Each structure stands twice: as C-alpha cells, then as structure tokens.
Amino acid sequence: MKLNEIKSAPGATKKRSRVGRGHGSGSGKTSGRGHKGQNARSGGGVRPQFEGGQMPLYRRVPKRGFNNKRFAKQYHEINIESLNKFEDGTVVDEKIIHDSGILKIPKVNDGIKILGRGELTRKLTVRANAFTASAKEKIENAGGTIEEI
C-alpha cells in the first residue's frame, strides 16, 4: 500500500454545496438566506450571546468587585496568657505548642500569631510567624526574647 493509493471510507467525504448557481440547484437567487433581514445581508447576523435586544445575561447579573481577602495570611492565634504553662528559659516554637496541647489543630496554615491578651510571668524565647505590638512588649517586659520566623 502506498500513500497515493489510500482512499477515504465511503460516505466520509461530501461534495461542497455551491450557492448562487441558479434556481435549479436549490440554492439559487437568495442562496439559502431567505428574503431580506439582518441575516440576508453581507456581513449580517448577530454576535454570539445576542438575546434579541433583551437585556443580556452579563448585564443582568450583579457585579462584585475584586477582593484581596483570599490572598490574606491565615494565622492560628494564641494568646500570651497560655504560654505561662512553660518553664523559664524554654524556647517556645510551633512544635512545642502542638505537643503541649495549646494548639489542637494538626495543620498550621500560614503559621502562628501571638496575641497580647493576658499577662506573661515566664522568661521565654518565643518563635512565631507574627506578633502583635502588645505581645512583643509583654514578652520583652517579662525578660524574654522574640524571634519572627
């Protein structure tokens, strides 16, 4: 078998219909476009999604603006008062917080944020992803240090 001997299956190809070649062809005179109207004109017809002059769907539905909320960091928040259960000089990080049971969620989204509610009586080194200003102040006043990861 050679490439020039390959034939299409019977019925696979159909002869192209030539319009405007006399009324005996069945597609003469108006060439299958009917009489007058928008679709009979050259270049005529309507754009996609045109609804016949009815208010289009894309204009009927309410519009909502863009919001950066989905890109915001999602921290697990821990108050400073819950860090009093650790001994003086402890390095408090994500692993120790999980092991102690303060944070019961197994997966941390974007890290841990230390909030400033309560008082800290221990001298700790706290490693977290974010701190509030009051939390930083209370840890340093207790004699501890902060490390932002």
Each residue's pLDDT tens digit, 14-40: 999 999 999 999 899 999 999 999 999
Burial letters for 35-46: b for 16+ Cβ neighbours within 10 Å, e otherwise?
Answer: eeeeeeeeeeee
Stated pTM of the model:
0.55
Question: Per CATH, which fold does 70-148 belong to?
Answer: Ribosomal Protein L15; Chain: K; domain 2 (3.100.10)
- Distance separating alpha carbons of residues 108 and 75, to the nearest angstrom: 8
Each residue's pLDDT tens digit, 74-132: 999 999 999 999 999 899 998 899 888 888 877 778 889 999 999 999 899 999 999 99
Q: Are strands 112-115 and 76-79 parallel, antiparallel or unpaired?
A: parallel
